[in-house]
Structure 1
Amino acid sequence: MTTTRFAPSPTGYIHVGNLRTALMNYLIARKSGGTFILRIDDTDPERSKEAYVDALKEDLEWLGLTWDRVERQSQRLDQYHEAADKLREMGRFYEAFETPTELDLKRKKQLNMGRPPVYDRAALALTEAERDAFRAERGAGVWRFKLNQNRIEWNDGVLGDISIDAASVSDPVLIRGDGQVLYTLASVVDDTEMGVTHVVRGSDHVTNTATQIQIIEALGGTVPSFAHHSLLTGPQGESLSKRLGTLSLRDLRAQGVEPMALLSLMARLGSADPVELRTDMAELIDGFDIGRFGSAPTKFDVADLFPLTGRLIAARDYACVAGQIAALGVPEADAEQFWAVMRENITVMSDLEAWWTLCRDGAEPVIDDEDQEFVTEAMALLPARPWDATTWGTWTAAVKEQTGRNGRGLFMPLRKALTGQAHGPDMGQLLPLLQTVRAK
């Protein structure tokens, strides 16, 4: 059975980059009738916050990305240390004591000599007495996994055939000097013990995947099918890394972005298939194919979410929004007509409030100097209430006959006088909803 996972760190709010990973893993699991695990990477006690755990669950629930079970890495530390002991017994795990400054000097020296900046494994040559001396002087060292220096190969679900020379990669640190187990080890142990069959993540993890494959094999696990999606850029190809904090899912929700608009875009962005607005999750699941995605950096423009959101909103029946319209204070007698008029003229649901304020309180008239006399004359011809769908046509016909104006010169000044805006709903439909008219 297919098993996938989403493994966020609760050190901040999840953003569109995280979502891409979560969604792809979710869709693969659901398409095959498999299991989707939410795995909280909270092995860093200093940076992990329970408030962020709650927030990421809330964000995923808002999107409808339901999980089958939750795992907490902070509750699995014993399993990680057991795996570390196993690697030590196999001679694949060793303690190293270099300071960051010493490592930096080694890297610079290697680069100056035209060599790849790879850890030189100096710690392997230390005697037990030398290790004891380092521990006494510097405290516990880091623990590195000893890579077999051969080629690591796999068929990637997005990138195709990958081959990495392990000799060009530093032996990865799996446990820090303070004892904190790092993601690389924790993830391997979890994927193996939880039976994860497919892993989708960003292309910045390719080298990490190579080292993890060797760790999985060393621990006797089954290597999952890996796929590395492209990284997102801004609309001009600029890096999004510094802006992702402003593209959190909760910020997008606060701006009025609809869940299915966001999911529809992210489920196709970067693939060979066009973005298609979907209205339910089943359609997204059915149409997803990881093999259709490319490796090139993928441009993401938050502005693309709003037309999709507007289309979703416009398609809603009155019954779906009746509660929100009632909450604005729209009289029940006008509520359904208000929605019929406004649904095509809003981008997000919060836009309704401004339109209702205009209908209820009227708008400050916008009247160009050359139209002052015309508007005064026209307002004198405005029929008495009640107004209905025929009132605008009857009124403008009378104004045309008396003033001789027609076309844009007739309609635009009247729209701006009544609504303060040059654009908006059909005036024949809007006029009956105007409870206050300030123009005289």
Structure 2
Amino acid sequence: MTVPFVRTAPSPTGYLHIGNARSILFNWLFARRHGGRFLLRYDDTDKARSKPEFAEAIAEDLAWLGVVPDASIKQSERLGLYDEAAATLRAAGRLYPCYESADELDRRRKRQLARGLPPVYDRAALKLTAADRAALEASGRRPHWRFQLDWEEIGWADLVRGPSHVDCASLSDPVVVREDGTYPYTLPSVVDDVDMGITHVIRGEDHVTNTAVQIQIIQALGAAVPVFGHHNLLTTASGEGLSKRLGHLSLRGLRESGVEALAVAALSVLVGSSDAVRPVSSLDELAGLVDLAHVSRAPAKFDEHELEALSARTLHHFEFAAVAERLRALGIPASEPFWLAVRGNLDRLSGAGVWWRVVEGPIEPLVVDKAFAAAAAALLPPEPFDQTSWKSWTQAVAAATGTKGKALFMPLRQALTGRDHGPELAALLPLIGREKALKRLAGETA
């Protein structure tokens, strides 16, 4: 395989949602798996809707996911390249001027639909004479420019869908330059892919038809056609399509909710494939799991409840080194023994703060049976405590008091932690220490 150079091309017109993340991650993980490179390209030619704050948010969200681009570009800074490409295509006779207004085109499409015909542009502009065009421009009309498709079948070997083809005779000639000289998506995308040497284009299946058009433009520019792959799309759990405009499952919102970025990444690319959704310890591990050939053709549902569960399982698998810096950022100067003790009880990393306060104190102990607590305190072994101290202590307390099961363990947990449930006390007791344990058994705040 050619060493891949892939790209993602978000428009800075809103916050990224989980569907955007799916496509971005498929690209980044593919490059990671095959020793390739990853380009972040801001498709920001829509001046009215593109905002710098959304571009900044894209970079922040990708950094949160752990996606680091090898290079980044902005289309708004590359307009000269698109002008050159348009001039080349005009000179080759592949672009032609059209003068219909949006309303005229809409009425024409409705008439075609009413007659049972596909709403494909009829190439009426090709019938205009030079005099016709001059008269239209004299009246104030400005042309938009369409790329004249060859009416042929375009085929390619798709990384996800296998052998694929589109009959271009069923398509309208795409508008590639607007009346005001600005560019919609199609031509800049092709020009940037060609200029940057993109080898693989991996994107959602809603771009399948675009691929046939873009292959023709690439060929008209005399460039090499990249390898294409079109993955299935994500929906909400209820089957609703995702939208930046509606704010569906935005990465920003997920990040603020405290779910683990690795869980978001794993679920977004493993769901809707033949690979089981599972927790991973790193994006490199995930890159080794993801295979585009395993992706289903059917839409995949992204369930927030499944994400919550996967996020917790991901936390439970983290070694201390993976979270130490994040714990310190939360004001928790924790240690590896503390992390190993509490991680299995967390669904958010921030929840570690609760157990750090239990360990460090002070807390209000819950002592219901003072006689039982006093007897237990008298049997508390000397330090240093280790993982066996809890078992030997509770065996001694059971023998002395005749209690067992919940009647034995619950009063001790309530006194030592002030809570009815939590991490294994065999791991917490050495962290709490003998001095605080004795005070709490005596009902003192410690």
TM-score, normalized by length of structure 2? 0.83
After superposition, give the CA deviation of every residue in 1:163-201 in whole Å (9 maximum; x if it has no partner): 222222111111122221111001111112222221111
**Counterpart in the other structure of 2:94:** 92
Stretch of structure 1 that moved more, 38-47 or 393-402: 393-402
Shift in Å, 1:326: 5.5
Deviations 1:228-261 (A, max 9, x none): 1000012343333378724232332223333333
Residue matched to 2:112: 110
The correspondence of residues 170-185 of structure 1 with structure 2, limited to 5 A, is 170-185=172-187
Measured in 2, the distance between the counterparts of 1:85 and 1:70 equals: 26
Shift of residue 138, structure 1, vs aligned partner: 5.0
**2:253 alignment partner in structure 1:** 251
- Describe the SS at the equivalent of 1:71: strand
CA RMSD across the alignment: 3.4
Which residue does the alignment assign to 1:354?
A: 354
The partner residue of 2:164 within 162, 165, 181 is 162
> Counterpart of 2:270?
268
Whichever residue aligns with residue 27 of structure 2, its letter is N
Relative distance call for 1:274 and 1:328 in structure 2 (3 A) is closer
User: Residue 350 of structure 1: CA displacement?
Assistant: 0.8
Percent pairwise identity? 47
Q: Determine the C-alpha separation between the residues in 1 that align with 2:191 and 2:326.
A: 48
Q: Does the CA-based 8 Å contact 1:381-1:395 persist in structure 2? A: no
* Native 8 Å contact 1:201 1:229 kept in 2: yes
What CA distance in whole angstroms lies between the structure 2 residues aligned with 1:185 and 1:96? 17
Pairing 1:274-353 to 2, within 5 Å after superposition: 274-318=276-320, 321-322=323-324, 325=327, 335=335, 337-353=337-353
- What amino acid does structure 2 have at the position aligned with 1:96? C
2:247 is paired with a residue of what secondary structure? helix
Q: Which residue of 1 aligns with 2:377?
A: 383
Shift of residue 71, structure 1, vs aligned partner: 2.2
1:77 aligns with 2:79: yes
Alignment of 1:41-56 (within 5 A): 41-56=43-58
CA distance in 2, matches of 1:326, 1:31: 32
Distance 1:124 1:166 in 2: 18
After TM superposition, the structure 1 stretch with the greater mean CA deviation from structure 2, 118-127 or 261-270, is 261-270
Contact 1:38 1:71 in 2 (8 A): yes
Q: Per the alignment, do residues 392 and 287 of structure 1 end up closer, same or farther by CA in structure 2, a change over 3 Å counting?
A: closer
* Structure 1 position 429, deviation (Å): 4.5
- 2:191 pairs, out of 189, 192, 197, with 189
User: Shift in Å at residue 430 of structure 1?
Assistant: 4.3
Distance 1:395 1:165, change over 3 A: closer
SS of 1:350's equivalent in the other structure is helix
1:163 is matched by which residue type in structure 2? Answer: H
Residues 207 and 328 (structure 1 numbering): CA distance in 2 closer, same or farther, change over 3 Å? closer
What does residue 424 of structure 1 align with?
422
2:148 alignment counterpart:
146
Aligned to 1:369: none
Cα separation, 1, equivalents of 2:376 and 2:112: 85
Deviation at 1:420, TM superposition (A): 6.7
Separation in structure 2 between the aligned mates of residue 276 and residue 165 of structure 1, nearest angstrom: 40
- The answer (yes or no) to whether the contact 2:281–2:317 under 8 Å persists in 1 is no
Unaligned 5+ residue runs, structure 2? none
Equivalents in 1 of 2:246, 2:196: separation in Å?
Answer: 30
Aligned partners of 2:333, 2:93: CA distance in 1, in Å?
77
Q: Residues 414 and 438 of structure 1: is their aligned pair in 2 closer, same or farther, counting only changes over 3 Å?
A: closer
Q: Pairwise mapping of residues 117-136 of structure 1 onto structure 2 (< 5 A)?
A: 117-136=119-138
Which of 202, 214, 224 lines up with 1:200 in the alignment?
A: 202
User: 1:209 Cα shift?
Assistant: 1.1
The aligned counterpart of 2:241 is 239
Whole-Å Cα distance in 2 between the matches of residues 104 and 202 of structure 1? Answer: 27
Q: Distance in 1 between matches of 2:324 and 2:68?
A: 27
Shift of residue 276 of structure 1?
3.8
1:368 corresponds in structure 2 to none
Q: Between Structure 1 and Structure 2, how many residues are aligned?
A: 430
Cα shift at 1:330: 6.0
SS of the equivalent of 1:233 reads strand
* 1:379-416 superposed Cα distances (whole Å, 9 cap, x missing partner): 566637999675798579768976x8754466557756
| Alignment TM-score, normalising by the size of structure 1 | 0.84
Q: Secondary structure at the match of 2:203?
A: strand
Q: Specify the code of the residue in structure 2 equivalent to 1:144.
A: R
SS at match of 2:55: helix
The one-letter amino acid paired with 1:362 is: I
Matches within 5 A, 1:34-45: 34-45=36-47
Distance in 2, matches of 1:120 and 1:317, equals 63
In 1, Cα distance between equivalents of 2:294 and 2:279: 18
Q: Secondary structure of 1:206's partner?
A: helix
CA contact (8 A) 1:16 1:247 kept: yes
Does structure 2 retain, via aligned residues, the 8 Å contact 1:96–1:144?
yes
What are structure 1's unaligned runs of at least 5 residues? Answer: 366-371
1:32 maps to 34
Query: Post-superposition shift, 1:63?
Result: 2.9
Kept in 2: contact 1:39–1:71 (CA 8 A) = yes
CA separation in 2, counterparts of 1:395 and 1:28? 53
Counterpart contact for 1:17–1:244, Cα < 8 Å: no
